[in-house]
Amino acid sequence: MSKVAKNIVDRVNQLRREIRGHDYRYYVLDAPTIPDAAYDRLIGELRELEKHYPDLVTEDSPTRRVGGKRATEFAEVRYQLRMLSLDNAFSAEEVAEFDRRVRDRLGDREIEYAAEPKLDGLAISLMYENGLLTQGATRGDGEVGEDVTQNARTIRAIPLQLIGKDFPPVLEVRGEVYMTTAGFDELNRRQLAEDRKPFANPRNAAAGSLRQLDPAVTADRPLGFFSYGIGVVRDGNLPKRHSEILVKLQAWGVPVSPESATVHGLKGCLDYFHKLAGLRDGLPYQIDGVVYKVNLLAEQERLGFVTRAPRWAVAHKFPAHEELTRVIGIDVQVGRTGALTPVARLEPVFLGGVTVTNATLHNEDELRRKDVRVHDTILVRRAGDVIPEVVSVVLERRPQDTERFEMPTQCPVCGSEVVKADGEAVARCSGGLYCPAQRKEAVKHFASRRALDITGLGDKIIDQLVEKALIRHVDDLYVLTAEQLAGLDRMGKKSAAKLMAALDKSKQTGLARFIYALGIRSVGEATAAALASHFGTFEALMSADEETLQQVPDVGPVVAAFIVSFFRQPHNRDVIAKLRECGVRWANVTPARSSVQPLNGKTFVLTGALAGMARDDAKARLQTLGAKVSGSVSKKTDYLVAGADPGSKLACAEKLGVVVLDEPAFMVLLAKHS
């Protein structure tokens, strides 16, 4: 190691110690002692120091949790000790049978069990060598799993290094990676906002997040981890009981469910089951039952295994949160981005502790697939705090003369045409600025920095303006009075005057900004700039047909259709006319003015095959956004886009620390800028 001043080394070590301590208090003890922002500052300082002194970077540094290297595919991991699954019991009788079988083999007496919640996530094995996390693997088929070490390292609940000294030199920790229910809801909101398929449940979301080729994606997902046991152990002295091992693991910094307990006999098991059933809805993560394990390891050994599951454990599953009820109507709701969501109105049904009267049908494709009709009897499911959903229709109970439900062709809120892009599951209202359901967001977009840049017109102010009906459309912003503004919460005379001045100033804008500000679907900054330089005047753009629009770089048939549909709506034309009457103006653009190009100055290299796009198209898209596309990776490369079978460029990029984008990440980047 080259010489780094001792005080720097000391500081790096001190930061790592502190951060590990905070991780432990946060994830293991659930008792943080500093606010998140202060924690972020510690991480930030450490990251900065490691950037300046790369010699000080170590595998187990807390900074290694974010980002990291990208794997091209998961390597196989063959287990020395099989990763077991569990047999299920669905009733007290089946648990009694399990307890009977155990007593038949161990001798007829009250058995001591370790009882734990059964997390609904993804099983993982974590190998620690001399306390250092060296490998993380999924269960796979129990004999061979997938190496997800890089991804496991990004999960902050998983210690990179064990605490203390008395852990065995080789220790395999086993447990469950899960996603919190709140994190799952937030992730699905994001998925929907980005026109991606929502995850069916937190289990799928956790599995999908852990099995990502790009660890940066895993790092961005709200994953947690609880250990429920161990696998391979070498040269260590471990306690005799499962429950005591969990206590040890906890002391070494490995999170263990706080609900774990020791219980006695069948009655102890069933009492625990009822207690956890009561706690279930209040837990921040989903559990689908509890697990009973014979507590003494020596007794576990005597009981042994049957094929894939141990004889010494059983999962006692909760009854599913599913019920039958009848559909009394189907409504269509309009969301923030104009997305139409069909919702089934139900005969009230008591489900998992609450009365449910609505269930989502997600989108038109789901509705079609399930073919839910008014008067149908359906199976409805509610998992945790997730919005109840229709699982399926009980066709045997379908009355005669029911009709297929058809999605409206006009927005139920504003009457505008409903459009659905090819390959998209979501149908949307094309009302844009006009539709009340979309109005707030449209105003926020219009006022945003890269659009008309109205300083001082924040989200809270816009919410109030729309709620108090002071504005309906963006043009109304320009007829607001200082008195009206001063009457809002968080507004005084002074800030109202400032906002009036900002509104006035925003009227002088640019053509590209104005086009972008309208919030036409899929017309981002770069497309707006391309449209401005192609057409030169707003009038020319407004009267362009789809064919003409497609001559603009970056505008394909889908975007062209959005633009034509937007300008076809009389109310959009009306809002635009009013904006101009209020004095919103711009200079016309004469040939190719330098446009806003979000990737200006960035150099990309493409390698491997992209499944969804030809290499030339990818190159053209990047160039339209201002990027330079080069043939080889060098220090000047900013991004490597790696498709399938990427070859040597990937290794070269990783060596040089170039950011690597896999195909999904690349698509997100393009979508963000178009």
Q: Which is nearer to ligand 9MJ, 228 or 604 (CB)?
A: 228
Cα 164 → chain centroid: 34
Query: In this chain, which residue has its C-beta nearest to ligand 9MJ?
Result: 228
> What 3-state DSSP class applies to 232?
strand
Question: CB 487 → ligand 9MJ: shortest distance, Å?
Answer: 55
Element containing residue 433 per DSSP (H, E): none
Which one-letter DSSP state was computed for residue 141? T
Q: Which is nearer to ligand 9MJ, 84 or 496 (CB)?
A: 84
Beta-sheet pairing, 603-607 with 639-642: parallel
| C-alpha to C-alpha distance for 554 and 551, rounded to whole angstroms | 9
Question: CB 93 → ligand 9MJ: shortest distance, Å?
Answer: 22
At position 338, the amino acid (one-letter code) is G
Identify each DSSP E strand in 394-487 by its residue range: 418-419, 428-429
Which one-letter DSSP state was computed for residue 332? E
Question: CB 120 → ligand 9MJ: shortest distance, Å?
Answer: 7
The region, left, alpha or beta by phi > 0 then psi within -120 to 50, assigned to residue 647 is left
User: Is 118 assigned a catalytic role?
Assistant: yes
Question: CB 83 → ligand 9MJ: shortest distance, Å?
Answer: 8
Element containing residue 672 per DSSP (H, E): helix 663-672
Query: What is the four-CA torsion angle of 163, 166, 170, 176, rounded to 10 degrees?
Result: -50
Q: Which is nearer to ligand 9MJ, 111 or 622 (CB)?
A: 111
Question: CB 174 → ligand 9MJ: shortest distance, Å?
Answer: 7
Q: Which is nearer to ligand 9MJ, 118 or 248 (CB)?
A: 118
Beta-sheet pairing, 340-351 with 354-360: antiparallel
| C-alpha to C-alpha distance for 134 and 629, rounded to whole angstroms | 37
Question: CB 255 → ligand 9MJ: shortest distance, Å?
Answer: 12
Q: Which is nearer to ligand 9MJ, 305 or 350 (CB)?
A: 305
Identify each DSSP E strand in 181-279 by its residue range: 223-234, 261-264
Beta carbons of 535 and 507 less than 8 angstroms apart: no
| C-alpha to C-alpha distance for 250 and 393, rounded to whole angstroms | 46
Q: Which is nearer to ligand 9MJ, 86 or 263 (CB)?
A: 86
Q: Which is nearer to ligand 9MJ, 313 or 575 (CB)?
A: 313
| C-alpha to C-alpha distance for 342 and 333, rounded to whole angstroms | 6
Question: CB 278 → ligand 9MJ: shortest distance, Å?
Answer: 18
Question: CB 157 → ligand 9MJ: shortest distance, Å?
Answer: 14
From 118, 293, 370, 444, active-site residue: 118
Beta carbons of 477 and 374 less than 8 angstroms apart: no
Question: CB 290 → ligand 9MJ: shortest distance, Å?
Answer: 8
Q: Which is nearer to ligand 9MJ, 115 or 627 (CB)?
A: 115
Q: Which is nearer to ligand 9MJ, 102 or 491 (CB)?
A: 102
Cα 450 → chain centroid: 26
Question: CB 223 → ligand 9MJ: shortest distance, Å?
Answer: 15
Beta carbons of 526 and 625 less than 8 angstroms apart: yes
Q: Which is nearer to ligand 9MJ, 229 or 384 (CB)?
A: 229
What is the DSSP annotation of 341-366? EEEEEEEEEEETTEEEEEEE--SHHH
Q: Which is nearer to ligand 9MJ, 118 or 382 (CB)?
A: 118
Which one-letter DSSP state was computed for residue 584? -
| C-alpha to C-alpha distance for 242 and 369, rounded to whole angstroms | 47
Q: Which is nearer to ligand 9MJ, 119 or 660 (CB)?
A: 119
Question: CB 177 → ligand 9MJ: shortest distance, Å?
Answer: 10
The region, left, alpha or beta by phi > 0 then psi within -120 to 50, assigned to residue 362 is left
| C-alpha to C-alpha distance for 553 and 563, rounded to whole angstroms | 14
Give the residue among 310, 248, 312 at the shortest CA–CA distance from 83. 310
Question: CB 119 → ligand 9MJ: shortest distance, Å?
Answer: 4
At position 56, the amino acid (one-letter code) is L
Tell me the β-bridge partners of 634.
Answer: none
Question: CB 116 → ligand 9MJ: shortest distance, Å?
Answer: 4
Q: Which is nearer to ligand 9MJ, 99 or 120 (CB)?
A: 120
Give the residue among 627, 629, 612 at the shortest CA–CA distance from 664. 612
Beta carbons of 220 and 68 less than 8 angstroms apart: no
Cα 413 → chain centroid: 29
Residues that bind ligand 9MJ (CB under 6 A): 84, 86, 116, 118-119, 176, 228-229, 291, 313
> What 3-state DSSP class applies to 120?
coil
What is the DSSP annotation of 268-312? HHHHHHHHHHHHGGGSSB-EEEEEEEESBHHHHHHH-EETTEETT
Distances (CA, A) of 308 to 105, 172, 255, 299, 318: 19, 19, 26, 18, 22
**Residue 377, both tokens:** 């009897």
Beta carbons of 570 and 592 less than 8 angstroms apart: no
Distances (CA, A) of 423 to 197, 363, 364, 415, 558: 12, 13, 12, 24, 10
Beta carbons of 178 and 206 less than 8 angstroms apart: yes
Q: Which residues have a catalytic role annotated?
A: 118
